[in-house]
Amino acid sequence: MTNIVSIIIPTRNSERSLRTCLQSIKNQTYRGIEIIIVDNQSLDRTLEIAKTYKTKIFCHGTERSAQRNFGASKAKGDYLLFLDSDMSIPANFVNKCIKKIIENIDCLIIPEVSIGKGFWSQCLRLEKELYKNTDWIEAPRFIRKELFFKVRGYNTNLISGEDWNLMQKLKPYAKLGRIDLSIRHNEGEIGFFKIIKKKFYYSLYIGRYIEGTKEGWLTNKQINPFFRYYFFLKNIKLLFRDPLVGLGLIYLKTCEYIVGLGGISVSFLFLGKNE
């Protein structure tokens, strides 16, 4: 009997990339797949595109965590795969995940390759390369459904850090595995100020993650910038394979941390950690 894999995709105004995402799922060599779209009030052609594929469509949620949890609650599959609408997967991806997870594995960490246009997209691509096979920055996307519900899924109070939080909840119960195929993450043509704006938005809510984790920010590798710079230094050959892109990434991360500190300060002063 074929195991069903439920692929859950949260969307919001995702017409730019959704067709590529859904087509990559349609092209899978593994046949036991259901696609669940959970949309958050899209105003573009997102739902129109979704309807042209064999998908289950729901409207729910204000952020990704709530959308993903709702999609999981509607899933018929024994396994859940969480993708974003700007991601695509190679044709043998699900088949390889299934073969790996039946080896007494509970969830799979899957590397990402960032693609896009422009200099800053090259910097983001380099960053993803640096993080490959790094446990403290990556998080599982392919998970046994029973285990996902055992840890109560994604924390819906978190707008940033929700992937890290899920990893921390899964670790005591799960046997983690990896596959060598990568998800293609299509960033599009992304500019410097768009990246910084996104970082500021997420930093407004990162206090919730810091408060909920057992580690403080000084010992938390995801939060403390000194860990990140030390990590870059350990991988200096890859970092400066292209010196200009390497310097661009360091500049970008420095600006992100400065803006992030500002966002955290605003959050603690005016919003409160739990608001």
Report the range out of 4-18, 197-211, 257-271 with the highest average pLDDT.
Answer: 4-18
Count of domains forming the chain? 2
Indicate whether 168 and 248 sit together in one domain. no
Residues 133 and 240 in one domain: no
Comparing 208 with 109, the larger pLDDT belongs to 109
The pLDDT of residue 9? 98
The pLDDT of residue 161 is above 90: no
Which has the minimum average pLDDT: 12-16, 68-72, 133-137, 183-187?
Answer: 133-137
- Which residue is it, tokens 């608001």? 275
DSSP string, the chain: -PPPEEEEEEESS-TTTHHHHHHHHHT-S---EEEEEEE----SSHHHHHHTSSEEEEE--SSHHHHHHHHHHT--SSEEEE--TTEE--TTHHHHHHHHHTTT--EEE--EEEEEESHHHHHHHHHHHHHTT-TTT--EEEEEHHHHHHTTSS-TT-SSSHHHHHHHHHTTT--EEE-S--EEEEEEE--HHHHHHHHHHHHTTHHHHHHHSSS-TTT-TTT-HHHHHHHHHHTHHHHTSSHHHHHHHHHHHHHHHHHHHHHHHHIIIII-TT-
Q: What is the 3-state secondary structure (H, E, C) of 135-149?
A: CCCCCEEEEEHHHHH
Closest to 251 in 3D by CA, of 195, 203, 184: 195
Among 190-204, 205-219, 253-267, the range scoring the smallest mean pLDDT is: 205-219
Q: What is the mean pLDDT of residues 240-250?
A: 97
The model's confidence at residue 275, banded by pLDDT at 50, 70 and 90, is very low
Verify that 94 and 209 share a domain, yes or no.
Answer: no
Let me know the angle formed at the C-alpha of 138 by 53 and 163, rounded to the nearest 5 degrees: 65
* Domain, as residue range, for 2: 1-190
Confidence grade of residue 274 (pLDDT, cut at 50, 70, 90): very low
The stretch 142-156 carries a mean pLDDT of: 95
Q: Select from 136, 163, 190 the last residue of a domain.
A: 190
46 and 178 both lie in a single domain: yes
271 against 206, higher pLDDT:
206
Q: Does 225 share its domain with 118? A: no
Query: Once rounded to an integer, what is the mean pLDDT over residues 93-101?
Result: 95
Contact call for residues 6 and 73 (beta carbons, < 8 A): no
Q: Which of 170, 190, 210 is the last residue of a domain?
A: 190
Q: Do residue 18 and residue 81 come from a single domain?
A: yes
CATH number at residue 62: 3.90.550.10
Mean pLDDT of 83-99: 96
Q: Which range, of 79-88, 132-141, 228-237, averages the lowest pLDDT?
A: 132-141
Q: What is the pLDDT of the chain when averaged over all its residues?
A: 90
Mean pLDDT value of segment 106-133:
92
- Whether 38 and 140 map to the same domain: the answer is yes
Say if residue 181 is in the same domain as residue 252.
no
Provide the pLDDT confidence category of residue 204 given band limits of 50, 70 and 90: confident
Indicate whether 118 and 216 sit together in one domain.
no
- In this predicted structure, the answer to whether residue 12 has a pLDDT above a threshold of 70 is yes
Question: When comparing pLDDT for 209 and 30, which is higher?
Answer: 30
Same-domain check for residues 165 and 274? no
Give the pLDDT confidence score for residue 140 in this predicted structure.
Answer: 93
Neighbours of 252 (CB within 10 A): 20
Q: In terms of pLDDT, which residue wins out, 20 or 3?
A: 20
User: One-letter amino acid identity for 177?
Assistant: G
Confidence of residue 236 (pLDDT cuts 50, 70, 90): very high
Shared domain check, 235 and 169 = no
Q: What mean pLDDT do residues 37-60 have?
A: 96
Distance CA(14)–CA(84), nearest Å, equals: 9
Of 165, 190, 215, which residue sits at a domain end?
Answer: 190
- The answer on pLDDT for 132 being more than 80 is yes
Using pLDDT thresholds of 50, 70 and 90, give the confidence band for residue 270: low
Identify whether residues 200 and 182 lie together within a single domain. Answer: no
CB atoms within 10 A of CB 198: 14
Mean pLDDT over residues 138-152, rounded? 94
82 contacts 208 by C-beta, under 8 angstroms: no
Dihedral, CA atoms, 113, 116, 118, 121, nearest 10 degrees?
A: -40
